[in-house]
Structure 1
Amino acid sequence: MTSLPSGRRAAKSSGPLSAAASRRVERPAPLRQAVYDALLELIVNRTLAPGQHLVEAELAEYLGVSRQPVREALQRLQTDGWVDLRPAQGAFVHTPTEEEADQLLAVRSVLETYSAKLAAEHATATDVKQLKKLQKAGEDALVAADVDRLVEANANLHAAVAAIGRNKVLSEMIGLVDRRVRWYYTPIARPRSRDSWNEHAELIAAIADGDGERAGEVMHRHAEQTRQTYHDRKTTESN
């Protein structure tokens, strides 16, 4: 922990920090963070499904750790909205509501529409080549009917578009919603399949042409179609 300058240390007993003089900033333990990341990834890829009961002892055994870091991770996952802790029942993977999904996918649509416009304005030949490589990875996953690879390829391509736009703040904001987008996208990766990757190809063509307006329109339509497919799936499941 970084110390206060010596002059400040001498005066702190009479200053506003006196009430918290014995407190220290605790750096997160690597194991605690590793357990959190592992559980979050299991939730995002739906190995741990929405609504599933999470038993500390089982998770600890699966991850090869004690129950304490698992308990701490579950508490943090609740704070972050991934887990519900129910009194006298335990922990459960959060089940997203229609409203939550709609709000997130709507925000994603706005951010990535602008991201696509910027990408078209800044893309180099090397950038376009990289996008086409990522597109090929997605098409290969589609042929193999590999959902995990489809989800990964989709996330990689969208992240690349954001990076090409050269707007660091926008890229960071898109990154913040990426895991939840993956969470929602996983069950519809196969239904969207061919349409989604055709839309990606159209987007890459617009970026390669430097056509920001067209790139934005394609991305907006693409994001809204994903949003609609998610809602259609939820409606079908509830009937």
Structure 2
Amino acid sequence: MLSTGLPQGAVPKLERPGPLRDRVYEALLELITTRALQPGQHLVESELAGHLGVSRQPVREALQRLNTEGWVDLRPAQGAFVHEPTEDEADQLLTVRALLEAEAARLAAANADEAGIDALDELVAQGLKAVASSDVNRAVALNAAFHAKIMELAGNTVLAELAAQVDRRVQWYYTPVARLRGGQSWTEHRELIAAIADRDEQLATRLMREHTERTRQSYHGRGKS
């Protein structure tokens, strides 16, 4: 285990093809977005290199890229740290996400076929199982897959590309509220599926707006009593 607190077994294996620096980047990004590496956590190049089974150079290159993209902060004379998102950063991104998702829900209600509805139903079933077994990481991944499927059913390539740009950061923000939202989030998903299946564009839009707003409020209210 890393002295910086990385959970045992959390380090992904670098088995995918491609340049080593890219594979290290993807591995570190996965650890950050799942919060195996926590916001504010010190990232020691030698320890990360040892766990990933690589030299320090691709780790250094990956950290520089993550810094450019806002996932990591490089502090002079201190080193690399996982970025700690501010409330404003989260609010801005989740607000943009709400706009994109609401339009996607409307278009999905207009365009979804029976196979698409069935796929959404299956994701909800899997999501409820993940919640029941307290598998937060799987619940977060399935939540992302559900929203990605709605984007796919919307049939708007530009909208999907814009959503993909914020998808990983949305997962990052969603992880700490996944337990708080729990089964309620998936109940809301079911209501949304029903609206899409009924081709009720107005209702689907409203339900998605309410759904994303609840997630935004949960993020800002986490840990508060």
TM-score (norm 2): 0.91
1:76 corresponds to which residue? 65
5+ long unaligned stretches in structure 1: 1-28
Correspondent of 2:217 among 228, 233, 236? 228
Give the aligned residue type for 2:138. Answer: R
Structure 1 residue 193 and structure 2 residue 171: aligned? no
Deviations 1:141-162 (A, max 9, x none): 1111110111011000000000
Aligned to 1:111: 100
1:136 aligns with 2:122: no
Please give the secondary structure, in 1, of the residue aligned with 2:222: helix
CA deviations 1:103-137 (Å, max 9, x no partner) are: 00000000000000000000001110111011111
Following TM superposition, by how much is the alpha carbon of 1:31 offset from its aligned partner in structure 2, in angstroms? 0.6
1:208 aligns with 2:200: no
Distance in 2 between residues matched to 1:30 and 1:215, nearest whole Å: 42
Higher Rg of the two aligned structures: 1
Q: How far does residue 181 in structure 1 lie from its aligned partner after superposition?
A: 0.5
Unaligned runs of 5+ in 2: 1-17
Q: 1:101 is matched with which residue: 43, 65, 90?
A: 90
2:20 corresponds to: 31
Q: CA deviation at 1:86?
A: 0.4
Letter in 1 for 2:167: D
Find the counterpart in structure 2 of residue 17 from structure 1. Answer: none
- Is 1:158 the counterpart of 2:147 in the alignment? yes
Structure 1-normalised TM-score? 0.86
- Distance in 2 between residues matched to 1:76 and 1:126, nearest whole Å: 39
RMSD: 1.0
Identity %: 59
Q: 2 CA distance for matches of 1:40 and 1:146? A: 20
Q: Number of aligned pairs?
A: 208
